[in-house]
């Protein structure tokens, strides 16, 4: 199905998780261990990575949306929310708009992390065509890829084509105005993230007719993967769910 899931007992909400550019579902490994009973953590495997390494990574957003829409179809049978980090936030937002156009179930809430509001425009530097040494240096500077991975040729041979495809999507993205979403939006960010400003995060407010919240957490651009419990508690609070974890007993 192209999905990696962890199923707690009788979850009340499914959370579809979309990682940053070039990353796969294992990026949410720490989330699987920290997930509460009420939330079914469901990282989505995008083409070209991990279990779907044989599938070509799309280089345009419309092609990626078609692929993701097909693969999440079986997961829309119960209430769900979506969270996307960095470029994954853009994907989750556009997926919610596509589901609305198709008359499908809407997310109970959209969580967008570490990405400026889409109507504010690009400012994505032309990274996708950089020579491999320069692209590796940029990855090291951004601190989103372990240094040990960057020095392993086999891993980089797998990672770089997918990363280039994702970066090309972001660099060519042009926002198309539509009516705001009817689902609430929570925008998440790292307090020390130097790439995204507070006004750029608050800009997401205009993309919903429902409630909007801005939540900030300790850390930089990749805070999301380093503070899973804090972030999941905030998500559960915004969804009105319990934060009790598996096997926790009530005394």
Give the active site residues.
Answer: 86
Sign, Cα dihedral of 62, 68, 69, 70 = positive
Q: Among all chains, which residue has been given the structure tokens 């939006």?
A: 185
Instruction: Name every residue whose Cβ is closer than 8 Å to that of residue 123 and which is 6 or more positions away in sequence.
Output: 116
DSSP letters along 65-108, please? HHHHHHHHGGGTTS-EEEEEETHHHHHHHHHHHHHHHTTPPPPS
| 207, 118 Cβ separation under 8 angstroms | yes
Name the helix (H) or strand (E) containing 156.
Answer: helix 153-172
């Amino acid at each position: 199905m192209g999905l990696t899931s962890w199923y707690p007992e009788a979850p009340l909400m499914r959370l579809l998780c979309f990682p940053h550019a070039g990353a796969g579902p294992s990026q949410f490994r720490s989330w699987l261990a920290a997930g509460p009973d009420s939330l079914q953590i469901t990282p989505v495997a995008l083409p070209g990575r991990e279990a779907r390494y044989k599938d070509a990574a799309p280089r345009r957003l419309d092609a990626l949306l078609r692929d993701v829409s097909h693969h999440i179809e079986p997961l829309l049978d119960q209430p769900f929310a979506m969270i996307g980090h960095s470029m994954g936030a853009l994907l989750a937002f556009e997926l919610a708009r596509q589901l609305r156009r198709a008359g499908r179930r809407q997310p109970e809430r959209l969580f967008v992390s570490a990405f400026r509001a889409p109507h504010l425009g690009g400012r994505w530097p032309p990274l996708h065509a950089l020579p491999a040494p320069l692209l590796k240096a940029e990855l090291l500077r951004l601190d989103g890829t372990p240094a040990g991975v960057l020095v392993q040729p086999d891993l980089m041979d797998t990672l770089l084509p997918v990363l280039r495809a994702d970066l090309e999507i972001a660099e060519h993205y042009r926002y198309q105005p539509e009516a705001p979403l009817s689902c609430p939006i929570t925008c998440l960010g790292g307090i020390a993230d130097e790439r995204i400003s507070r006004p750029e995060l608050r800009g997401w407010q205009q993309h919903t007719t429902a409630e909007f919240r801005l939540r900030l957490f300790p850390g930089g651009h990749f805070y999301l993967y380093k503070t899973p419990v804090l972030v999941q508690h905030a998500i559960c609070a915004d969804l009105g769910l319990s934060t009790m974890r598996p096997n926790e007993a009530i005394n």
